[in-house]
Amino acid sequence: MSLVRHCRFTAIDFESAGAARGKTDSPVQVGLATWSLENGHADAFVSYLQTDGPVHWAARKVHGIGPELLTDAPSLLLLWPEFKKRLAGAIVVAHGKGTEKRFLRAFPGHGFGPWIDTLLLARAAWPELPDHSLGALCEHHALTNIIRELVPGKSWHDALFDAVASLVLLARLIESHELTEMSVDSLLHPDTSIWHNSRRI
């Protein structure tokens, strides 16, 4: 595995339509952004996504995306060249990677990865914190203004804003724990045992 300082990290975030019980969810927005120690933040991309189903009211309440924003949006499959260009050869980053990995199944055998989950990393790095949601972590570490400078005019639950936030958080974690000269493998399988044990108390 490469050293952390040599790696290109590309974060991905999806906002979804939401779904009623028993129904299949679908993405309505995707954001991607890249960061490396050598080149900093770069290569941002964001797009609304066409969906066949309605945007559930609960999801719209969170992200504010309604059908009026999706009228001329491309389908997820049409964006394959963008995904391939940004994710191929990168360490893929997401905060709570389950949703992102699930939606990327639209591209069978895509081979993107390895994956870093900043939710798991944060639980391992700061197990004493009461809230490991992306927004709470960035507020705790005074990172929100940095994110707003990188993604002006946007806020939480915009896909690009959240993708960039996970990279800013990752950069802070790497810096605070002096991981730049470590193998990137140290970020792939964080030890969350202390956090899990604290939840049992």
Q: Which CATH superfamily is domain 4-200 in?
A: Ribonuclease H-like superfamily/Ribonuclease H (3.30.420.10)
Q: Pairing between strand 9-16 and 27-36?
A: antiparallel
DSSP character for 3? B
Q: State how far the Cα of 114 lies from the Cα of 2, in Å rounded to an integer.
A: 12
Task: Give kind and range of the element (H or E) at residue 16.
Answer: strand 9-16
Here the tokens at position 168 are 């800013």
Q: State how far the Cα of 17 lies from the Cα of 178, in Å rounded to an integer.
A: 39
Q: What is the pLDDT of residue 164?
A: 98
Q: What is the pLDDT of residue 1?
A: 67
Mean pLDDT of successive 10-residue stretches along the chain, which has 201 residues = 93 90 83 97 96 89 93 96 96 96 94 96 96 97 98 97 98 96 93 84 58
Q: State how far the Cα of 44 lies from the Cα of 182, in Å rounded to an integer.
A: 26
Residue ranges per domain, the chain?
Answer: 4-200
Q: What is the pLDDT of residue 53?
A: 84
Q: What is the pLDDT of residue 201?
A: 58
Overall residue count recorded for the chain in this entry: 201
Q: State how far the Cα of 14 lies from the Cα of 3, in Å rounded to an integer.
A: 28
Q: Is 158 helix (H, G, I), strand (E, B) or coil?
A: coil
Strand partners, 11: 33, 93
